[in-house]
Amino acid sequence: MTRIRALALGLLAAPLALGLAACGSGSSSDGPTASATAVAKVAPPTGEQWSDVISKTPEGGYRMGNPNAPIKLIEYGALSCSHCAKLADDGFATLRNTYIDSGRVSYELRYFMLNAFDIPAALLATCGSTETVIPLSEQFWAWQPNMFQNIQAAGDAKLKELQNMPPPQQIPAVAQLSGMTDFFAARGISKAQAQTCLADTAKAKALSDMTEQATKQYNVEGTPTFILNGSSIGSMEWGELETKLQEAGAR
């Protein structure tokens, strides 16, 4: 087992009881029955686009778009997941501009803790205003390869040192070593603000609990996993996901 993998498996595992899952394109299910007719577009509030409307949901996710959209899409995503990053690169602009801005589709991002790198990443992505969470997550996915390069470049000795730290020190140490702190600082999350957010153990526990709930409620085993109008449609790439949205009436 590599030192990076060992750190990912071990960091905060005991206090947060993190369940580990796979990042990958798993099987998909049929989900909701296809709509026979197209859903009508819904005009946004005056002077806005629907993609400007972002709110936190009671379930702990972040929703972009018309809160009353007839087609509701939820993504369980992990900021460390390369398949999530690919999907964001392949399809998020189209999802936002074509589907969310039409008022027919809302998109909710719920963080899923694949491994311990996701804890500091999610704490920092949600450290600013609600409106910035989804845009920052999309930017993080584009930057994600740099995180793994930084961790790899640190070497085994440094990673072993992180493993031996008390859990409250590990989260900010991983954020610093991986370059996350600098990434978010360049996007408006000051290092002082980041320190406060990274020390929020209650929020870290809430992220772990949301992961556990996703596993129980929707049998989420990997990321990205999509819930369409309340039914799991599994894990898929953008082309298949777009087809599912169109079948649901977004056409």
CATH number of the domain residue 231 falls in: 3.40.30.10
Q: Count how many domains the chain has.
A: 1
Give the pLDDT mean for 21-29.
62
**pLDDT surpassing 70 at residue 22:** no
* Residue 120, preceding peptide bond in cis (omega within 30° of 0): no
Exposure string over 140-152, b if 16+ CB within 10 A, otherwise e: bbebbeebeebbe
Contacts with 69 (C-beta within 8 Å, 6 or more apart), sequence order: 42, 103, 104, 105, 106
Report how far residue 150's alpha carbon sits from residue 118's, in angstroms, rounded to the nearest whole number: 15
**pLDDT surpassing 70 at residue 36:** no
**pLDDT surpassing 70 at residue 82:** yes
Q: In what order do the strands lie in the sheet with 71-77?
A: 54-56, 62-64, 105-111, 71-77, 225-228, 231-234
According to the model, what pLDDT value does residue 35 have? 72
Strands 71-77 and 105-111: parallel
Report how far residue 1's alpha carbon sits from residue 140's, in angstroms, rounded to the nearest whole number: 26
According to the model, what pLDDT value does residue 33 have? 65
According to the model, what pLDDT value does residue 31 have? 67
Range of the domain at 146: 3-247
Prediction pTM value: 0.89
Report how far residue 144's alpha carbon sits from residue 100's, in angstroms, rounded to the nearest whole number: 25
